[in-house]
Amino acid sequence: MDRMLYVAMSGASETMLAQGTNSNNLANANTTGFLSDLQQFRSMPVFGDGFPTRVYAMSERPDIDFAHGAIQATGRDLDIAVRGDSWMAVQAKDGSEAMTRAGDLQIDANGLLITGTGLPVLGNNGPIAIPPAENIEIATDGTISIRPLGQGANELAVIDRIKLSTPQKTELEKGMDGLVRLKSGAPSIADADARLTTGALESSNVNTVTALVDMIELARKFEMQIKAMKTAEEIDAASTTILKS
């Protein structure tokens, strides 16, 4: 009965992990630029001194869903949506370079251009600083121009250019902080041909209907595993009673 019990236990444990991944996707259904995590189960033989005697379940994240979310027009000057398969470079909390498609930009109290989650946006020479200005414009190629305080409408000054890159999808991996990085750990290479859509944001690519269906399916799988564990316990108790008699 130990085989039945441990197989069912591993299935229930891994199903809970899969439910956690699915719940995280569902919780970020309205997060700008969020890319959902994929999920799959795999059978893992248990090797010992001889041949495998049983197979346990394993839940894993093979990759992320690189499908693009819908582009929603906002009309806000600092909202941008990255076109195609390109990415915007940001500075992660650990100081490393990372990439995101969340373009809900803001200017903090220190004049730094940051994302909605407070990460500095990177330009040609590091984080982009915006001096006091009457107006800020972001071109489709990422170039940032401002109209200095007290200047006329035609007096525009180029400040910096947002670093955009277009690496191959096979080179990318998503970290626990939700940011995407190159698997090599190296900074991304700027792509002069990458383009933005200004005054718009890219929504999350999570399909809420699919996520809800998966949640119900995973809950039923968990209940099935728990039932198998209870059945193993009942069989074990019956066997013990027979041996005592």
CB 164 within 8 A of CB 86: yes
pLDDT of residue 189: 94
> Residues of the chain whose pLDDT is less than 70?
1-2, 152-153, 245
CA distance 139 to 103: 13
3-state SS assignment for residue 133: strand
pLDDT of residue 145: 93
pLDDT of residue 132: 87
CA distance 208 to 213: 9
pLDDT tens for 162-217 read 999 999 999 999 998 899 999 998 999 999 999 999 999 999 999 999 999 999 99
pLDDT of residue 245: 67
Q: Which residues pair with 87 in a beta bridge?
A: 165
- Residue 169, CA atoms < 13 Å, CB-side half-sphere: 9
CB 92 within 8 A of CB 121: no
pLDDT of residue 194: 95
pLDDT of residue 204: 95
Q: Which contacts (CB < 8 Å, 24+ apart) does range 17-26 have?
A: 17/59, 18/59, 18/218, 19/215, 19/218, 19/219, 19/222, 21/59, 21/61, 22/211, 22/214, 22/215, 22/218, 23/215, 25/206, 25/211, 26/206, 26/208, 26/211, 26/212, 26/215
Residue with tokens 């998966």: 214
pLDDT of residue 69: 93
